[in-house]
């Protein structure tokens, strides 16, 4: 059954002895996942988002990692799908924004330059009827002002039920929260709906950025996304920027912000806090690199 689901559902799979091994591994993983919060095995990493014109850090994307006792550090790709199926995504989905909002508030109290922190929402999280109440509770408990929180959803999530998405996003917008569409251009969005979504940011995924200097089609798509977003008064963030040539192209096309290994890999909160403490000198360094 699980193999059939993994293959996209609506198909059949014949039994193979290796399935027992995978089923046992899956059961063990799910069992460990049920105790991950009480054992405090989650780690939040932060990847800076940088203003392409000034070099200033304007935001950070919070990325959760699981420090598994036996398997080492696991990325969300390795455990979020299982968390979704088992329903464990609900408590996990509340722990992540509460943790990052509390951390962001602590940075502000320490006197660091204020930044927005972005949190990714999964399908099941976004479809929860009490999402707005949950987010409001997290903000109240942590004391973080709503405009310092960015909630990211993918196009695929947004288009599963566009009418529901519009209602949900408008409620979040009314709270003052910023909304971002992640990996824009990789899903099946309808521009007729996109204009009705109360968005603040479009994020260009790494799949387009990676080859934009060698693939004319990617370059054309990136240029079109930036132009369209700006005409709709939206900010554009390019993800996965790893090469100077990509930076040059994005600056020429007036992309607003960039995120990627060219500037920083995802960092533990302690390491990112050191960057915030050195923001002035770091901004000067970035400005020199951006003077292209």
* pLDDT digits 0-9 by tens, 34-64: 778 888 888 899 999 999 988 889 999 999 9
CA atoms within 13 Å, Cβ hemisphere of 171 = 14
Query: E strands within 69-145?
Result: 72-74, 116-120
Give the C-alpha distances (Å, rounded to integers) separating 251 from 25, 227, 263, 287, 292: 46, 13, 15, 12, 9
Structure letter (DSSP) for residue 240: -
> Mean pLDDT in the chain?
86
Lowest-pLDDT range of 108-112, 188-192, 205-209: 188-192
Please identify which residue in the block is written with the tokens 């699980």.
2
* pLDDT digits 0-9 by tens, 150-182: 999 988 888 888 889 999 999 999 999 999 999
- Helices (H) and strands (E) counted in the chain, each on its own, are 14, 10
Homologous superfamily in CATH for domain 43-290: EAL domain (3.20.20.450)
Predicted pLDDT of residue 20: 62
Distance CA 287, CA 56 (A): 8
195: tokens are 């204009």
80: tokens are 């979020």
Q: How far is CA 116 from the centre of its chain?
A: 12
Query: Domain residues of the chain, as ranges?
Result: 1-33, 43-290
Give me the mean pLDDT over the 188-217 stretch: 86
- Burial pattern 140-178, b for ≥16 Cβ within 10 A else e, equals eebebebebbbbbbbbebbbeebeebeebbebbbeeebb
**Burial label, 184 (beta-carbon count in 10 A; 0-12, 13-18, 19+):** buried
* pLDDT digits 0-9 by tens, 218-258: 999 999 999 999 999 999 999 999 999 999 999 999 999 99
Question: How many other CB atoms are found less than 10 A from the CB of residue 102?
Answer: 14
Structure letter (DSSP) for residue 266: -
Nearest to 43 by CA among 14, 23, 73, 16: 73
Query: Is the pLDDT confidence value at 289 over 60?
Result: no
Sign of torsion over alpha carbons 214, 289, 201, 266? positive
Residue 65 and residue 122 in contact, taking contact as beta carbons nearer than 8 Å: no
Residue 253 and residue 44 in contact, taking contact as beta carbons nearer than 8 Å: no
- 47 - beta bridge partners? 61
Distance CA 164, CA 70 (A): 40
Assign 180 to helix, strand or coil: strand
Band of pLDDT at residue 87, cut at 50, 70 and 90: confident
Residue 262 and residue 242 in contact, taking contact as beta carbons nearer than 8 Å: yes
Assign 202 to helix, strand or coil: strand
Query: E strands within 33-105?
Result: 42-51, 57-68, 72-74
Question: How many other CB atoms are found less than 10 A from the CB of residue 26?
Answer: 15
Predicted pLDDT of residue 103: 95
């Amino acid at each position: 059954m699980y193999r059939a689901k993994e293959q996209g559902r609506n198909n059949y799979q014949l039994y193979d002895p290796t399935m027992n091994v995978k089923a046992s591994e899956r059961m063990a993983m799910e069992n460990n996942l049920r105790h991950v919060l009480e054992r405090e095995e989650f780690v939040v990493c932060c990847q800076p988002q940088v203003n392409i014109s000034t070099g200033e850090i304007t935001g950070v994307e919070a990325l959760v990692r699981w420090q598994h006792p036996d398997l080492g550090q696991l990325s969300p790709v390795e455990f979020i799908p299982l968390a979704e199926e088992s329903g464990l995504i609900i408590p996990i989905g509340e722990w992540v924004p509460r943790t990052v909002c509390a951390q962001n508030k602590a940075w502000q109290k320490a006197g660091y330059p204020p930044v927005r922190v972005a949190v990714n929402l999964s399908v099941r999280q976004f479809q929860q009827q009490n999402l707005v109440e949950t987010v409001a509770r997290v903000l109240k408990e942590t004391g973080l002002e709503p405009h310092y929180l960015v909630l990211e959803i993918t196009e695929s999530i947004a288009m599963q039920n566009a009418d529901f998405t519009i209602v949900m996003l408008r409620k979040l917008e009314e709270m003052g929260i910023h909304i971002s569409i992640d990996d824009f251009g990789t899903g099946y969005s309808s521009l007729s709906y996109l204009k009705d979504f109360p968005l603040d940011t479009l994020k260009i995924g790494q799949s387009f950025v990676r080859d934009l200097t060698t693939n004319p089609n990617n370059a054309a798509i990136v240029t079109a996304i930036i132009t369209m977003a700006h005409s709709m008064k939206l900010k554009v963030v390019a993800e996965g920027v790893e090469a100077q040539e990509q930076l040059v192209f994005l600056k020429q096309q007036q992309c607003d912000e960039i995120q990627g290994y060219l500037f920083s890999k995802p960092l533990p909160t302690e390491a990112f806090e050191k960057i915030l403490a050195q923001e002035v000198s770091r901004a000067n360094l970035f400005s020199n690199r951006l003077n292209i």
